[in-house]
Amino acid sequence: MPGIGIGIGIGFGGSSDDYFARQWYGVEIDEANTSPDLTRIASDMRCHAELPVHKLIRGCLLRDNGTVNYYLDSTDWTKQVGGAASALDGSAGQVMMEWPAFYYKVDMDGGGAGKHQIKISLSALTGYTLVAKHYVSAFEAAIQRSTTKLASVINTATDYRGGNNTSAWDAAANSLLGMACSYINRTDGRTAARNRGAGWNQYGYSDHTWMYWFYVIEFATLNSQKAVNAVLTAEGYKQGGLGAGTTTAASATWNTFNTYNPFIPVGASNSLASGSGEVAYTKNDFGGAGVHVAFKVPRYRGHEHPFGHLWKTVDGVNIEVQSVAGGGKTNTYVADNPANWNDANYTNYINHGEQARADGYQKTALLGATADFVSTVTSGGSDSTYYCDYYYTDIPAATTLRALFVGGTANGTSFAGVTNSSVQDVPSIASARIGFRLSYHTP
């Protein structure tokens, strides 16, 4: 066997990128282990240091026709790749993260009974499923009021006023200028995303599924609120997590400040550019005149607020919450084709399986061949064991179609996190605490 010490390119008969592109890597979840920390697995364990799929996620400015205007410098988003100045205000396109095409496989009980394996690769290995190249907004979505288009931009003009669009606060500490939008229901959010053109939609179920599992595979933990630790392990692996996030606001204080509207300006964590971690942000007068409150803004590979601040609306999934008399199940209906997305029925949706029937901290996930992250068991979970995030539901008197919201809010504390989920509300709900992400998939 050729010696690795001679050089990876020589030792494997090609470039190191070519070699790692042919490998797979992932994690094993042992349902009998209460710890959220997981076992890394791979065809070559160096993949967990190289992260060949992860490292192809990159920031860009995406035109409405789905073409990339330019890519952003991975360490400084004030610049394009090549050094020219960038424009993140919408004039050059939407600020998006480009996700490469990749393949995945879920081996249920692949490591033994109750030991489930999730694997990803850049190659079409036997039994692996393709996830096509797509784009997810770097930011919680704003909305351009004059065009009613969802947007992923940093723009403090009144045309992009966020939250519930209260103009009376524009000159005050609780101003909604430069904030994400909220107080829009899922139906109208879908329309606003599609107003940008073919291929544009609000955040989909698959988008969030892979946001979560990529984090889990990279940091080898189910706990997205684990403390940030930027030091690599001796093997060169990532460790730690994304921190508490913007989840520590006192509910009454937030209500008094701006009636639960967004208060962290879009782009507050931009110093991390395409990286991961958290950025300190102080909100002036949040606790009253002269009372400034410190927060942390999380970021995962360029995606600001992967959890916390606002609930994120998820499209392409309709939850059938049955009454006890109506069947006693909570079914997860998923439509991969956005043309079939609706808020009224399950036509052209596929039932991926049953969710939990009681509130509580998530203990197990649905998983299966489609890697569903939603909760199946809550009894026995906690904020420091298993998935560490809370699941909200209630059982209606009559079977009801519900929407899925993820991530938790600015007052979510330890209930929040990337898998924090709620299936309590119908798609028509609009709330100051519910926001959006934007996505683009080639139509």
Tens place of pLDDT for every residue, the chain, 443 residues? 233 333 333 344 568 899 999 999 999 999 999 999 999 999 999 999 999 999 999 999 999 999 999 999 999 999 999 999 999 999 999 999 999 999 999 999 999 999 999 999 999 999 999 999 999 999 999 999 999 999 999 999 999 999 999 999 999 999 999 999 999 999 999 999 999 999 999 999 999 999 999 999 999 999 999 999 999 999 999 999 999 999 999 999 999 999 999 999 999 999 999 999 999 999 999 999 999 999 999 999 999 999 999 999 999 999 999 999 999 999 999 999 999 999 999 999 999 999 999 999 999 999 999 999 999 999 999 999 999 999 999 999 999 999 999 999 999 999 999 999 999 999 999 999 999 999 999 99
Note whether residue 262 is domain-resident.
yes
For 53, other C-beta atoms within 10 Å of its C-beta total 26
What are the C-alpha distances in Å from 344 to residues 100, 227, 325, 431? 32, 40, 21, 20
β pairing state of 390-392 and 421-422: parallel
Number of domains forming the structure of the chain: 1
For 383, other C-beta atoms within 10 Å of its C-beta total 17
Strand order in the sheet with 94-99: 76-80, 68-73, 58-62, 94-99, 134-137, 438-441, 200-202
For 143, other C-beta atoms within 10 Å of its C-beta total 27
pLDDT computed for residue 103 by the predictor: 98
What is the distance between the alpha carbons of residues 314 and 440, in angstroms, rounded to a whole number?
Answer: 14
One DSSP character per residue, 190-223 reads HHHHHTT-TTEEEPBHHHHHHHHHHHHHHHTBS-
* Residue 307 one-letter amino acid: F
Question: Quick one: CA dihedral 412, 154, 183, 372, positive or negative?
Answer: negative
What are the C-alpha distances in Å from 141 to residues 86, 153, 175, 373, 436? 19, 8, 17, 23, 5
β pairing state of 434-435 and 311-321: parallel
Q: Which long-range contacts (CB under 8 A, 24 or more apart) does 325-332 make?
A: 326/398, 326/399, 327/399, 328/357, 329/354, 329/357, 330/354, 330/355, 330/356, 330/357, 330/393, 330/423, 331/355, 332/366, 332/372, 332/374
Note whether residue 97 is domain-resident.
no
Note whether residue 293 is domain-resident.
yes
Residue count of the chain: 443
Note whether residue 85 is domain-resident.
no
pLDDT computed for residue 15 by the predictor: 83
What is the distance between the alpha carbons of residues 414 and 408, in angstroms, rounded to a whole number?
Answer: 9
What is the distance between the alpha carbons of residues 40 and 105, in angstroms, rounded to a whole number?
Answer: 15
Note whether residue 267 is domain-resident.
yes
Question: Quick one: CA dihedral 394, 408, 199, 132, positive or negative?
Answer: negative
pTM of the full structure? 0.96
Q: In this structure, what DSSP letter does residue 246 have?
A: S
Q: Could you give the maximum distance between any two Cα atoms of the chain, in Å? A: 72
Note whether residue 204 is domain-resident.
yes
For 164, other C-beta atoms within 10 Å of its C-beta total 18
Note whether residue 315 is domain-resident.
yes
Q: First vs last Cα of the chain: how many Å apart?
A: 46
Alpha helix ranges (H) inside 89-245? 186-194, 205-219
Domain of 270, in residue numbers:
138-443
Note whether residue 385 is domain-resident.
yes
